[in-house]
Amino acid sequence: MDVNEFRKYGREMVDYIADYIENIRERTVVHGVQPGYMKELLPDEAPQKGENFSDIMKDIEKIIMPGITHWHSPNFHGYFAAGNSFPSILGDMLSDAIGCIGFSWATSPACTELEVITTDWLGRMIGLPKEFLHSDHGPGGGVIQSTASETVFLCMLAARNKIVNQIKAKNPHMDEMEIIAKLVGYTSDQANSSVPRSGMLGAVRMVKLQTDNTFSLNGVTLREAIEEDKKNGFIPFFLCASLGTTGTCAFDDLETLGPICKEHGIWLHVDAAYAGSAFVCPEFRKYMKGIEYAETLSTNPHKWMLIAFDCSVMWIKNSSYLVDAFNVDPIYLRHENEGRVPDYRHWQIPLGRRFRSLKLWFTLRAYGVEGIQQYIRRHCELAKEFERLILDDGRFEVVAETVMGLVCFKLKGDTILSEKLLEEIMATGKIYIIPAIVRDLYFLRLAICAERTTSEDIRRSFEVIKRATDRVMSMHFVIEGKHKPTIDIDISPLRLHGSCDEDEETSGTNGNHIGDVSPLR
Amino acid sequence: MDVNEFRKYGREMVDYIADYIENIRERTVVHGVQPGYMKELLPDEAPQKGENFSDIMKDIEKIIMPGITHWHSPNFHGYFAAGNSFPSILGDMLSDAIGCIGFSWATSPACTELEVITTDWLGRMIGLPKEFLHSDHGPGGGVIQSTASETVFLCMLAARNKIVNQIKAKNPHMDEMEIIAKLVGYTSDQANSSVPRSGMLGAVRMVKLQTDNTFSLNGVTLREAIEEDKKNGFIPFFLCASLGTTGTCAFDDLETLGPICKEHGIWLHVDAAYAGSAFVCPEFRKYMKGIEYAETLSTNPHKWMLIAFDCSVMWIKNSSYLVDAFNVDPIYLRHENEGRVPDYRHWQIPLGRRFRSLKLWFTLRAYGVEGIQQYIRRHCELAKEFERLILDDGRFEVVAETVMGLVCFKLKGDTILSEKLLEEIMATGKIYIIPAIVRDLYFLRLAICAERTTSEDIRRSFEVIKRATDRVMSMHFVIEGKHKPTIDIDISPLRLHGSCDEDEETSGTNGNHIGDVSPLR
């Protein structure tokens, strides 16, 4: 493709994207295909000769779109919001065109320096203590990672490295494996599945602690676990606390957890993948009280701040723990970096990295702090509006407090009613919501996801749920004493997984579910 | 930004990108800034009110471009090629617009199924055995990862998990840590720095084996290491072999390494990050003989196949080793996946993933297999042409065979001459090349990187080197018996690092170097 063809097809793609977003309401939100559908539509081998790009453009509607679940449709209420916006798309276009690999400052200083500046911008926007900012001239700062899950793993490894070095300094006779075998990390029974998985990957014991009746982990539980484990010769070293869990958007109690971590030298990582963006609004910052005790935290602008995946921002108070844990030669690089800008390849698991701060910069400037606040507040108000509709109906109960953009509800009575309700809703193909199970309680989650979701969209979504409920209420069930899930909604994966990240949580269930019901459409 | 503004600024961005690529030769290839330059140009905080996008567009030239090293300039000869092309940019635009998070099949079947199909396309294009393809209906297949470095880590963890389970099955009394403490993995002294780093991250011993005088690792060396380590009670479990090392583009001898791995039950991972793309040309496949012994391999279309970062493709013969190693509940998911499409979140470290196969699909179709072959062959011919110019001059020696798109050369005589030559070349700002050190041998690397590099570009690059050489030859040096690096080119990082990935390898050196000499420009 020569440069003039790019001008032509670039314009066409811009218009295609504009039309897609503008008219997304008219598309059936859920894909309508069966596993393997694309194999029938594409050849087994790449073409020998290059094809005309206009033929490729035609295949987008023919081959790709039937297999798309439209995450940015106002009728999409699954998982949590996935970030996206026009300025973000423009930022990625420029990033691709420059195409630098920013593994060190020198390979393209702009790539590193804009990331330093924009992660500071974002840190100030959500009210982080200055220890987390590059501008504090301390060892702290922010970095863009691919996902919150990769960040948990990274921080767990850095924490493991720190404690091993501390213990070896005092007990030179102990070897690394001997120490790692005694380590224990903690998280809550509501945490992202990537936390226990990080333990698995890092060959470290990771324990899920029980949350209270608001699905929140508190200091009393943590202290008991630490004392018990220490009595048994284990070494507590890491806690991953969650602000805004996937199941119910619950918040762990940093104010009681933090001091205990400090007292016991435990690395506190705070996973605020979804809720972190909301702290741009001062009224929500009460949910992050105690954040000053964290060594690291992360939030995903690619979830709830209008940035396209991937852009997960992580902050650390002392980056040397990270650099040293990953550096093939720490002594040399400590010198190299002294008083200079970071070489971000040492702040992450992969070596290569692209210019992701451009889309963050474009989006924060195009919306401004006030524009982002409006967007967050509107989503939270729409969630409240939906909650009112659900409660006024009288046939539903809300199972967790509606704090941000998520409403967790079920039909009063036996679980099977809510399961059937989900079947009826999904069979319409008009809206997309997903179920969750927390401590054997089965419920439905409706998240506000699209940037342009309106009050009218919410009322229309509620109408779909209302009519589906009418149908369920007219059915006859044999309610067994002990409920067994129907085959149509196999909820076992969720039960097995425990509560997971919005990525992981419901994909198993939903994977089965959509697969099973699509023939009904 | 409303949809009409996006149509307007989208067109502007398309034209900006077209102009940038069309006129990239006219830009000074190396950035001309000092650390911290951007702090002076941007405010400390994000704007309160949204800004007009036309102001943001203006800042691209003012704030970003001065800090860019132009990787896609024909005057850029550093590291290895970084992939990029117009169809790839268009693919990422669409991926951003759809903005689905493809962690499971159901969240957007097209995202998973196009990845299954295009990784099969690519596997066939480079002549992989069918065990690596999804279409073989076995447990094998391809997946898009972020980088080759992350892939090495992932495969090492999967191999660790496999061996631990095997040993525990035979010795139920042994615990995981006891086994891991005895594991030993191997790679060559020329391998990517991410390999030893993977050992560090995974808390596993990773040994660098010595290569022969062609910088290639062979079976004799591996067998000796295995026998010695087994004698000492260690458990060899993993070998990362390289096809196309960064230092000199050397190739490990899979034909002698493979059978030994098979004999000892060692997981063979093949890192062909750069050279893998060349196997699309049958004449280069002799360098991958023995690939059938590999359990996993990876290559980076985002390096040498015109795809923008990130798109690192990995293939595995038995994906269950990967899925089980990373899965919070293997039993359930084995069932879920039976006879179905993969849930790729279990094939990678992060949970979330974006629709990266679109750019691979667009690019392979737009160029066709023959277009890609032409591109690869042209780069290799240009490298040969540069090698001839260097040898004909008489003052240079070539330190490693020129096999693909890389020429490794030095001035005859003491190292300091080549160091001074690099200084003189970089001071012109006309071309960008980087040094390397392999076994105390200091030399310069000239890689063919840009898609549109011509024979004329190569002759012009040689002219720059020739004139710089004339200047160096007119200088007077006190050559010490034992050479010490000058401060301008601190080569110690490379010596400390050993040979690293193109990302890592020279960034330290180069980081110092560019930082130090830019005032001269």
Q: Which of residues 396-455 of A touch B (CB under 8 A)?
A: none
- N residues, chain A: 521
What residue type is assigned to position A403 of the chain? V
* Average pLDDT value for residue range B101-130: 95
Residues 6+ apart with CB under 8 A from A293: A254, A257, A258, A259, A261, A262, A268
pLDDT at position A55 is 97
Q: B279 pLDDT exceeds 50?
A: yes
Mean pLDDT of B286-290: 98
Q: Is the pLDDT of residue A493 over 60?
A: no
Q: How many domains does chain B have?
A: 2
Distance CA(A25)–CA(A72), nearest Å, equals: 9
Query: What is the per-residue DSSP string for B377-425?
Result: HHHHHHHHHHHHHHHHHSSEEE-S---SSEEEEEESS-HHHHHHHHHHH
pLDDT beyond 50 at A489:
no
Binned at pLDDT 50, 70 and 90, residue B192 comes out as confident
Chain B residue with minimal CA distance to A369? B48
For residue A507, what are the domain limits? Answer: 375-514
Q: Do residues B84 and A99 make contact, with C-beta atoms less than 8 angstroms apart?
A: yes
Distance, in Å, from the CA atom of B334 to the CA atom of A458, rounded to the nearest integer, reads 38
State what percent of residues in chain B have pLDDT above 70: 89
What pLDDT score does B185 carry?
98
B137: left (phi over 0), alpha (psi -120 to 50) or beta: left
pLDDT given for residue A341 in this prediction: 83
B143: alpha, beta or left? (left if phi > 0; alpha if psi -120 to 50): beta
Residue A478 has a pLDDT of: 64
Q: Is the pLDDT of residue A414 over 70?
A: yes
Predicted pLDDT at B203 = 87
Position B232 in a domain: no
pLDDT for the residue B490: 28
B53 contacts in chain A (CB < 8 Å): 87, 90, 362, 366
Nearest by CB to residue B92, choosing from A96, A181, A370, is A96
pLDDT (0 to 100) of residue A329:
52
Of B71, B135, B371, the CB nearest to A99: B71
Do the Cβ atoms of A225 and A209 come closer than 8 Å? yes
pLDDT in tens, B55-92: 999 999 999 999 999 999 999 999 999 999 999 999 99
Write the pLDDT tens digit of every residue in A291-336.
999 999 999 999 999 999 999 999 999 999 988 776 765 443 343 4
Question: What pLDDT, on the 0 to 100 scale, is given for residue B340?
Answer: 67
pLDDT class for B486, splitting at 50, 70, 90? very low
With cut-offs at 50, 70 and 90, classify the pLDDT of residue B431: very high
On whether the CB atoms of residues A426 and A32 are closer than 8 A, the answer is: no
> Per the CB < 8 Å rule, is A68 touching B9?
no
The minimum CA-CA distance between A453 and chain B, rounded to whole Å, is 14
Hey, are the CB atoms on A17 and B93 less than 8 Å from each other?
yes
pLDDT band with cut points at 50, 70 and 90 for residue A479: low
pLDDT at position B439 is 85
- What's chain A's average pLDDT? 89
- Given this model, what pLDDT does residue A467 score? 97
Provide the shortest C-alpha distance from residue A221 to chain B (in Å): 24
pLDDT at A184 over 90: yes
CA-nearest of A372, A373, A360 to A119 is A360
Measure the CA–CA gap between A270 and A335, rounded to whole angstroms. 30
Distance from CA of A392 to the nearest CA of B (A): 32
Asked if residue A344 is part of any domain, the answer here is no
Residue B229 domain-assigned (yes or no) = no
Region A89-110 average pLDDT: 94
Contact assignment for B108 to A71 by CB distance below 8 Å: yes
Question: Is A267 within 8 Å of A155 (Cβ atoms)?
Answer: yes
If DSSP states are collapsed to H, E and C, what string results for A70-135?
A: CCCCCCECCCCCCCCCHHHHHHHHHHHHHCCCCCCHHHCHHHHHHHHHHHHHHHHHCCCCHHHCHH
B124: nearest CB among A6, A45, A336: A45
| Residue B495, CA atoms < 13 Å, CB-side half-sphere | 9
pLDDT of A237 strictly over 90: yes
- Beta-carbon count within 10 A of B339 CB: 7
Structure tokens at B488: 């301008």
The answer to whether position B405 is within a domain reads yes
Judged by CB atoms closer than 8 Å, whether chains meet at B48 and A368 is answered as yes
Mean residue pLDDT across chain B: 89
* A267: β partners: A238
The answer on pLDDT for B347 being more than 60 is: yes
Q: What does pTM read for this prediction?
A: 0.92
Helix, strand, or coil (residue A210): coil
Rounded to the nearest angstrom, the minimum Cα separation between B177 and chain A is: 6
The order of strands in the sheet holding B396-398 is B396-398, B406-411, B441-447, B434-438
Which pLDDT value is given to residue A496? 26
Contact B149 A351 (CB under 8 A): yes
A313: in domain: no
Smallest CA–CA separation between A298 and chain B, in Å?
14
Q: State the nearest Cα–Cα gap between B220 and chain A, in angstroms.
A: 27
Is A50's Cβ below 8 Å from some Cβ in B? Answer: yes
In this predicted structure, what is the pLDDT of residue A331? 42
CA distances A55 to A50, A52, A63, A66, A358, Å, are: 11, 6, 12, 17, 31
Q: What is the pLDDT of residue B327?
A: 73
For A133, phi then psi, to 5°, come to -105, 145
**CB-based contacts of B281-290 (< 8 A; 24+ apart in sequence):** B281/B373, B281/B376, B281/B377, B282/B127, B284/B376, B284/B404, B285/B126, B285/B127, B287/B243, B287/B244, B287/B251, B287/B403, B288/B126, B288/B127, B288/B243, B288/B254, B289/B254, B289/B255, B290/B253, B290/B254, B290/B255, B290/B256, B290/B257, B290/B258
Eight-state DSSP code of residue B456: H
When pLDDT is cut at 50, 70 and 90, the band that residue A182 belongs to is very high
Out of A19, A34, A68, pick the residue that ends a domain.
Answer: A68
Rounded CA-CA distance B192/B242 in Å is 8
- DSSP states of A353-396 as a string? ---THHHHHHHHHHHHHHHHHHHHHHHHHHHHHHHHHHHHHSSE
CB contact under 8 A, B503 and A100: no
Q: Which of A235-244, B60-69, B168-177, B216-225 bottoms out in mean pLDDT, i.e. has the lowest?
A: B168-177
ipTM for this prediction: 0.91
How high is the pLDDT of residue A517?
Answer: 23
* Closest to B177 in 3D by CA, of A186, A180, A195, A202: A180
pLDDT of residue B497: 30
Inter-chain CB proximity B202 and A200 less than 8 Å: no
CATH number of the domain at B34, please: 1.20.1340.10
Place of tokens 């919070």: B328
pLDDT at A503 over 60: no
Q: How many CB atoms lie within 10 A of CB B102?
A: 30
Cα separations in angstroms, A422 against A419, A431, A442, A443, B340: 5, 11, 11, 9, 24
Q: How far apart are CA B313 and CA B179, in angstroms?
A: 31
| Integer Cα distance of B483 and B322 in angstroms | 48
Residue A347 lies in a domain: no
Q: Mean pLDDT over residues A73-91, rounded?
A: 96
Residues 189-208 of B with CB under 8 A from A: 192-194, 196-197, 200-203
Q: Is the pLDDT of residue A482 over 60?
A: no
- Percent of all residues in chain A with a pLDDT value above 70, rounded to a whole number: 89
Query: Measured between beta carbons, which residues in chain B are less than 8 angstroms from residue A17?
Result: 6, 10, 93-94, 97
Torsion of CA B187, B189, B192, B198, to 10 degrees: 50
Count CB pairs under 8 A between chains A and B. Answer: 499
Q: Span B32-46, mean pLDDT?
A: 95
A375 lies within 8 A of chain B by CB: no
Q: How much is the pLDDT for A324?
A: 76
Choosing from B39, B68, B97, the residue where a domain stops is: B68
Tell me whether residue B149 is in a domain: no
The C-alpha of A476 sits at a distance from chain B's nearest C-alpha, in angstroms, of: 30
Residues in CB range of A26: below 8 A, 6 or more apart: none
B514–A6 C-beta distance less than 8 A: no
Strand order in the sheet with B141-145: B141-145, B312-316, B296-299, B267-271, B235-242, B183-188, B205-209
A240: enclosing H helix or E strand: strand A235-242
Show which of residues 294-313 on chain B sit within 8 Å of chain A, judged by CB atoms: 302, 308-310
**pLDDT tens column, B437-450:** 888 899 999 999 99
Alpha-carbon dihedral B52, B57, B62, B66, rounded to 10 degrees: 140
Picking from B93, B113, B511, the nearest residue to A343 by CB comes out as: B511
A116 pLDDT band (50/70/90 cuts)? very high
Contact map slice: A 71-130 vs B, CB within 8 A? 71-72, 79, 82-90, 92-94, 96-101, 103-111, 113-114, 116-117, 120-122, 124-125
Q: Would you say residue B426 lies in a domain?
A: yes
Shortest distance between the Cα of B434 and any Cα of chain A, in A, equals 11
In percent, how much of chain B has pLDDT > 90?
80
Q: Is the pLDDT of residue B31 over 50?
A: yes
In which band, very low, low, confident or very high, does the pLDDT at B341 lie, cut at 50, 70 and 90?
confident
Residue B426: which CATH number?
A: 3.90.1150.10
The packing angle between helices B109-125 and B357-393, to 10°, is: 30
Contact B497 A124 (CB under 8 A): no
Whole-number pLDDT of residue B328:
67
Q: Taking CB atoms and an 8 Å cutoff, what residues of chain A touch B117?
A: 38-39, 42
pLDDT exceeds 90 at position B383: yes
